[in-house]
Structure 1
């Protein structure tokens, strides 16, 4: 058999190949014990059962179209697209310890799949995409595949600024 001549100088000069974008890497360590509020606005629908028999797996926060949406914590973009019916432009961030945050109805997504994002980094803009009738952010917090009430895991210091009409009430 024939062998190709060795070219050590070419191999040594070639930079290491980056991982392909489609493979989201391991998320960086969390930036804090609690998650940041992703947008400032008015809470229009909280987590839990609704009178119409439906269940909200997250929070719906009304905000002006184009308002910046920030990453709730350090993470890796696991999904950025609009294939999930009803959610419009949807962004999923994978965080350490099995956490996932979802940001739906975005007007624009400003990060690509596989990108690493920092806590508080702008990742998109509030929109009116999917099945909503007004500009808003649908925000979900998941531990694995299980939806978790975000208000129990959010930074209390930032809650007062998150809602123009004051902090959340008991219901």
Structure 2
């Protein structure tokens, strides 16, 4: 009985397997297929996605609104505050203060800086000729008053002469009548110009007692286009002295072409420059006296030992030999 059962079981199992195999092989019994819509595949781009850069507002150049106005200077390539100060007769520290410049080494080409003090009218400064005195803008009443007093004394002398003799009275009467004629008045009109020139020459800023800054001879003369001063020969270590009383507004080597340089400001009109020294003996803001030793002659930034000496009036170079005493 057990053997028949095992045989029957195997037979049943074999039949089931056959049915399954036939069923899978039957063309009418296909496995279900899911129909999905095909989504196109985009090729990946190797270029990075653009990054949005925030716009940074462009900062306007300092003082650009004052470009071209009197009393202002537009920075050019190669300029420094030291050079701008020298060219305009000012201390570089004053320029920095007037223009709110924190770092004097950071000025940009195209910036516009004020080169006259804030309490000075730039128009008045620009309209004043360099070779004229500053008193031209002031009333010139000193000499005319003196002329008037002289005329009064002359009239008094004439009246006393007329009182002393009748002949004198006759001789003085005619000049008085002649003075009232148009011809004499026209000839006398140009005479006030001479007192005006004398008063201009006595402007306080022009009243400087200059001395020679070194004892050597002049090796290079002044030339407005090529040599802004004079060169004085000597040997290394010779004393260089202040040409007049003043205040040191620069002492250093930051101005190309000048070597070790000292700049002394004497008043609102004049400053002097002493270049190519081997040693500087003064510091900025130091007050110096006429004849005080401020440096030792050398050849810094020069081909030979010499003192390059400049006198600048309102920032413009003038021939120092016109002001220095003859020797």
Shared fold (TM-score greater than 0.5)? yes
- Of 309, 315, 326, which residue of structure 2 is paired with 1:139? 309
Report the Cα offset of residue 133 of structure 1: 1.3
CA RMSD of aligned residues (A): 1.8
Shift, 1:33, TM fit: 3.5
1:107 — aligned with what?
278
Q: CA deviation at 1:48?
A: 1.1
Which structure 2 residues correspond to residues 31-110 of structure 1 after superposition, within 5 A? 33-48=208-223, 55-110=226-281
Q: Deviations over 1:37-94 (max 9, x none)?
A: 0001121100015xxxx51110001101000000000000000000111110000000
Q: Which runs of 4+ in 1 moved over 6 A?
A: none
Q: Which runs of 5+ in 2 are unaligned?
A: 1-92, 95-203
**Structure number with higher relative contact order (C-alpha < 8 Å, ≥ 6 residues apart):** 1
Equivalent-residue separation in structure 1 for 2:253 and 2:216 (angstroms): 23
Larger radius of gyration: 2
Change (3 A) 1:95 1:33: closer
TM-score by length of 2: 0.37
Q: Using the alignment, how far apart are the partners of 1:113 and 1:33 within structure 2?
A: 21
Q: Partners in 2 of 1:60 and 1:155 — Cα distance?
A: 16
| Count of matched residue pairs | 125
Match of 1:26 in 2: none
Q: CA deviation at 1:124?
A: 0.4
Distance in 1, Cα, partners of 2:288 & 2:234? 22
TM norm structure 1: 0.68
Partner of 1:19: none
Q: In structure 2, how many angstroms separate the alpha carbons of the residues matched to 1:63 and 1:121? A: 18
User: Residues 220 and 230 of structure 2 are in contact (CA less than 8 Å); yes or no, is this contact kept in structure 1?
Assistant: yes
1:120 paired to 2:291: yes
Following the alignment from structure 1 to structure 2, what is the Cα–Cα distance between the partners of residues 151 and 97? 21
Task: State the Cα distance separating 1:97 from its structure 2 match.
Answer: 4.3
Could you tell me how far apart the structure 1 residues matched to 2:318 and 2:218 are? 17
Structure 1 unaligned spans of 5+ = 1-21, 24-28, 161-171
- Does the aligned pair in 1 maintain the 2:208–2:244 contact within 8 Å? no
